[in-house]
Every structure is written in structure tokens, then in C-alpha cells.
Amino acid sequence: MALKPDPSRRPDLPDSDPGHDRGRAALGRVLPGLALCAIGAGMWVLAQGQPAWLGGHVGPGLMAQLLAMGVIGLGAAWAVLCARAPAAEAPPPSAGCGGETGGPAPGLSLSAPALLGAVLVFALSLPVLGLILAAGLSAGLAAWGAGERTARALALTVAGLMALVAGVGVVLLPPTAPLWPGL
């Protein structure tokens, strides 16, 4: 005897409400930005333990507070932009960082060693080369590892960072490290 399905019992069907699916997808898109905002808020709370100004001079907490506010701002911008973006279709299973297609995307296989090397180069070259040249050297190494496609893009990245470091170091903050090599 074959069992017949009971018409009074509905099988468990997935939620087919399209509004619910859109809301869930939008929440999934904004969560990384909101997580970054939460990390920035935690950084800001921790930075409040250090004074930003000491008698008219820059205190040890100023950069930590500015960095925390920057992280909060970036997280908020990321969340807003992702919330406004249309829902993207799911990528094919072979797309991504490796997997079935082989290794990482071309030009990015050395990104992690280059970034770690840039931090090491900056720390070791700062006392010898000064802040501006050490920042330029480490930015060049990190940009190369990140896969800057052309020499022009690499040069613009390095020049822009060196100008930013020089501007901040000379105009905004009294430098605690030498800006140029001690010749």
C-alpha cells in the first residue's frame, strides 16, 4: 500500500517572500561596513585613555583618535555604498581567490610578502633615510606587491604618499622622527 500525501500538511517550503530575501541580502551587504564601524568605535574608546593635546602640543592620543574616526567613517561609507548597490548575482563557483581556477589572481601572488616586507623596510630604513624617503620606499614595495599595473601608477602612488607624509610631517604635526636623512 502506497502512502498518499496528507493535503492538510504543507511541506516545509523556503520563505518565498521576495521582500524578505531583498532585506536579508541588503543586510548581508552592509554587515562588513557596520563591523568596521564597530571596530572603529572600539578603537575610539581605547584612544580616549590618551590625551590628544598636552599644553598646546600634540599628545599621544591624537593620531589614535583620528585613526579611529577614519575607520568609523570608512565603515559608514562602505555600509552606505553597499546598501545602495543593486543586488549582484552569485558568482560562478570557479570564481574567486584560487580554488578550481588555480592560484590567486595574476599580479597578487606576492602581495602578502610584499606587504610584510614593506613594513619591515619602513621600520629598518626610518632611522637611516628619514620619514619621507622610508615611507616612499615602503609604499613602492607595497604597491608593487598589490599589483600596480604600470610604472606610472606605481610612481604616482609613491609620490602621492611621500607628499602626504611631508605635508603632515611639516605642516600639521611636529615630527618625532627625522623627515630627511641626516646628511
Q: Please give the pLDDT value at position 123.
A: 83
User: Domain for residue 92, yes or no?
Assistant: no
Give CA separation, 165 vs 46, 161, 177, in Å.
25, 6, 12
Q: Please give the pLDDT value at position 4.
A: 65
Select the more confidently predicted residue: 12 or 64: 64
Q: Please give the pLDDT value at position 94.
A: 47
Q: What global pTM score does this model have? A: 0.46
Q: Please give the pLDDT value at position 102.
A: 55
Residues 167 and 112 in one domain: yes
Q: Indicate the average pLDDT of the chain.
A: 76
Strongest mean pLDDT among 47-61, 67-81, 146-160: 67-81
Give CA separation, 4 vs 1, 7, 8, 11, in Å.
9, 9, 12, 13
Least confident residue range of 146-150, 159-163, 166-170: 146-150
- The rounded percent of the chain whose pLDDT value lies above 70 is 67
User: Domain for residue 14, yes or no?
Assistant: no
Number of domains in the chain: 2
Residues 76 and 120 in one domain: no
pLDDT at 10 over 70: no
Cα separation, 166 vs 175, whole angstroms: 10
Residues 78 and 116 in one domain: no
User: Domain for residue 149, yes or no?
Assistant: yes
**Phi, psi for residue 108 in degrees, rounded to 5:** -110, 5
Residues 74 and 115 in one domain: no
Q: Please give the pLDDT value at position 41.
A: 92
**Which range of residues forms the domain containing residue 35?**
23-84
Residues 113 and 80 in one domain: no
Cα separation, 37 vs 131, whole angstroms: 30
> pLDDT category, 103, cuts 50, 70, 90?
low
User: Domain for residue 1, yes or no?
Assistant: no
pLDDT at 173 over 80: no
Q: Please give the pLDDT value at position 2.
A: 60
Handedness of CA 20, 23, 25, 31 (dihedral sign): negative
